[in-house]
Amino acid sequence: MEEKSNRRTVIKNILAGSAALAAGSSVLPSFASPHKKTEMLKGNIHHSVCRWCFSDVPLEQLCTTANNIGLVGIDLVGPKDWPTLKKYSLISTMCNGAEISLTKGWNDKQYHPTLIKNYTEHIELVAKAGYTNLICFSGSRNGMDDETGLKNCTEGLKQIIGLAEKNGVTIQMELLNSKIDHKDNMCDRTPWGVELCKRIGSDNFKLLYDIYHMQIDEGDVIRTIRDYHQYLGHFHTAGVPGRHEIDETQELYYPAIMKAIVATGFKGYTAQEFIPAAADKLGSLKKAVLICDV
């Protein structure tokens, strides 16, 4: 009980600092350049936010908020919106648009021709825009065993990984829970994803470690990050249970998780991917960034 109380006190103290952020551009610079330490942030974490969680907020408004907070960029943004991000000196920290869907992925050979075509085109678009990360998915099992899925994913991804290496683009497969949100998803355990990384054998293929998803399917988040950090290229956050705010209302203690990530020497991006439950959605985003800014 004492430990829980202390954790809540720490988070409440962090949240108290959000009042300064609420002042917006009167306190912070008009924009924050990528990887630049702002007046409010410590610079150890390169913060981002997933676009879809704030889809009801106009993109330009989200960009303005991102600048005021000091975010590096916005996750899961495709080519049509890249000009808007560039207007606000933000980057697409995790590009999308090459995938077919979350359920139709690299583990099924029938989708390989389409995926190879899509990713071949998209890798070059990402590189031309000056970005470095492109998301991908394993797909659903549909009765498939782990080994067959690994073989199929390896066979397909090896056909594009050379192009990714040539263009300085990292293909990142997201770990998604199969218990609650994505029933039957194949890439639902870190060891499976790590084995895929080993078989592909390229620094340009990594895992997008979604903390929310892996807390549901695995738990033991900090130990997993420490043990497999060399295979993890990107992080997503959200509160468990419910996928809402990452404050004291949920079970994960994000300051400790973020400290563990920093301790590995990670230099990539961490994106907030929670669905705001509070009325002030952008206020929740600011608070979440402060909680994770260790």
Dihedrals phi, psi of 250, to nearest 5 degrees: -125, 180
Number of domains within the chain: 1
- Judge residue 129's burial from the number of C-beta atoms within 10 Å of its C-beta, 0-12 exposed, 13-18 middle, 19 or more buried: middle
Dihedrals phi, psi of 76, to nearest 5 degrees: 60, 55
Would you state the pLDDT for residue 254? Answer: 98
Question: Could you give the 3-state DSSP secondary structure of residue 237?
Answer: strand
Contact between residue 206 and residue 240 where contact means Cβ atoms under 8 Å apart:
no
Domain housing 14: 2-24+31-292
Tens of pLDDT, residue by residue over 209-260, are 999 999 999 999 999 999 999 999 999 999 999 999 999 999 999 999 999 9
Q: Which amino acid is at 183?
A: K
Question: Could you give the 3-state DSSP secondary structure of residue 203?
Answer: coil
Query: What ranges make up the beta strands (E) of 84-204?
Result: 91-95, 133-136, 170-174
Supply the CATH number for residue 157's domain: 3.20.20.150
- pTM score above 0.75: yes
Would you state the pLDDT for residue 39? Answer: 53
Nearest residue to 206 via CA among 190, 218, 188? 190
DSSP string covering 27-50, please?
Answer: TS-S---TT---SS--SSSEEEEE
Would you state the pLDDT for residue 40? Answer: 79
* Low-confidence spans in the chain with pLDDT less than 70: 1-39
